Amino acid sequence: MSSQRIKTPCVGLCSTVYGDLVCRGCKRFHHEVVNWNRYGDEEKRAVLSRLEILLTQVMMAKLEVFDASLLRSQLEQRQIRFVPEQSPYCWAYQLIARGSRMINQVEAYGLALLPEFREWPLPDLRDAIDKEFFILSEAHYERYIAPSFLAEALESRV
């Protein structure tokens, strides 16, 4: 077990304060945003794991990471924040999210866009990835979290 503090995935664009059940910035559920500082390491890791799985799923449908070590060195050289323990597909997201307007050739970063996305401008691809990540997070919330809140509310009435 690492003694390092687990950092929040917050990106400073919280929409839960406006009533969203899923944050449009970090994709956490509203109760996870509110309770993050009360969570233990195991709870925080569970949230981060879910986010990583969903983001990796989205990214793998858009591109291939063919050289993770090149991607990592490019991120480090450009001082783009990433979590080394996460999937290289999450690293690729950080690169595209932070550098979409400056990148001319993704191959120089160890990435290859899948054929159906090769003609897309990177800022448009970044926006599509973010939207799909949000939609998957919302779907996960609706399928697995919302029903338990409803059940708890019903039980408290009895």
**How does pLDDT run across 9-46, given as a tens digit for each residue?**
888 888 877 788 899 999 999 999 999 999 999 999 99
User: In this structure, are residues 70 and 35 in contact, taking their beta carbons and an 8 Å threshold?
Assistant: no
What pLDDT, on a 0 to 100 scale, did the predictor assign at position 147? 75
Residue type, 3: S
Nearest residue to 74 (alpha-carbon basis) of 46, 106, 109, 44? 109
Q: Which amino acid is at 107?
A: E
**Which sign, positive or negative, has the C-alpha torsion 81, 77, 90, 96?**
positive
Q: Enumerate residue ranges in the chain where pLDDT < 50.
A: 1-3
Tokens of 57: 């799923």
Note the pLDDT of residue 15.
83
Distance from C-alpha of 92 to C-alpha of 4, rounded to nearest angstrom: 24
**CA–CA gap between residue 94 and residue 82 (Å, rounded):** 6
Q: pTM of the prediction?
A: 0.88
Q: pLDDT at position 3, please? A: 45
> What pLDDT is recorded for position 1?
40
